Structure 1
Amino acid sequence: MDKLKSISQLDFFSELKEKEIEELSTISNLITYPKNSILYYEDEIKENILFLVDGLIKIYKYDKFENEIFLYHIYKNSMISELTSVNNSSIYCFSNAEFVEDSIVLSINFEKFKEMFLSRNILSIKLIETLLEKTHQLQCIVNRELVFDSTAKVAFMIYNDLAMFNKLKRQEVSFMLHIQPETLSRVLKKLTRNGSIAIEKSEVIVLNKEQLESTFRGVGI
């Protein structure tokens, strides 16, 4: 895939002029990763800011018993890196990142990116907006893991990520939400009975989005 075209297709850089995209390309690399490969491990330090041009990434951690704890997915056209400071050029990795599909990543030298763009107040607002979105995502993870019961967890995922829910096997969904497969089955039957969803050929269809939202709305939100 062409580097200039890849940059221009990312929403994060949609406001850049053609000359600025060309400048950005001089400090960037386009890297292809196969499915199941690792982008980075927890506690690694990176010097580049990363964007997912195409593909799918799973973000996860391990608990003290070496059990995998799923956190969230990163979809194409998204920033991967989790920044805690724009003053420090080193980017700390708080979790593990694994490719679920063959993927393409845009890797940008963060120090030069700050010098060439952020210092001129180019893309600064876009970066702030993206970081706020990631903060909200973290709040949703806290709710899911510490506040939501099983019903709220399932309703929340169906409401926010129906395509992924239907793409995965039920056992994989159970693993992601840290509930038993039997519990997932009971919750789906419950949501079907109250008219929130229907299930046709193993695929979930949302019938009443407001009803579904009320299942988790107000629970830790």
Structure 2
Amino acid sequence: MGEVASLNDESTAQGGFGFSRRSLLMGCALLATGGVARARMPQRRYPYISKAQLEAMLPKLFRGWHAADSGALIMPPQDELSKKLYEHIVTRVYSNDAGEAVMFLVAYNSRQIDEVQVHRPEVCYRVAGFDILSSTPTNVAIPGGPQVASRVVEAQSMQRKENILYWTRVGKKYPLNWGEQRIAMLEDNVAGYYPDGVLVRMSSIQPRIEDALPKLKRFANDLWASTTPAGRRIIFQG
């Protein structure tokens, strides 16, 4: 009885609401933990940009290449996840006086969050009915710029064969697979911010990948040399 009375007296001493000193201490600790967790939540690193701003960063005429907008390119799968993945998608077909053509796509999101990851062309092309014949790592060496870890993909449908050069950038990293993408996101989250993310894809309809790849890498270098600093940050550097 004496022990019960002591507990009741302690509760009354805390204001008559039935809270013990132990409960109050635990509550304060939980509030402090929640405040620290909130303070450590990642913050947006880059501001939102409009589609018009993104389009303006991508030159339509450079080094003999000229562009037209195109709705005929293979697009990322249209689902609820895609709406989170990409704020804007810009598609163009570039051609030159030599009769060469490059299909070009940039899909951008200023903030990569949670389990959201950039779609890879291997997924998009399969959804569109293509068989993936090969997917191998390569490197795009930009003179005076970054060394961009990329992938080269051969995709075949009943109508055509498409040779694809692409990279994904998450923050300042160029992940080559799903696992590396997730790690890049987590590293930036731990550092205190949400990274942006972009898929840059260029492709050519040619029978031989050996013929297409040098042209696609040359196109990437021409694009770097002709793009504004803001456009380079989005497409290449992070």
The reply to whether TM is greater than 0.5 is no
Structure 1 or 2: larger helix share? 1
Q: Computing the radius of gyration over CA atoms, which structure comes out larger, 1 or 2?
A: 2
Superposition TM-score tier, normalisation by shorter sequence: under 0.3
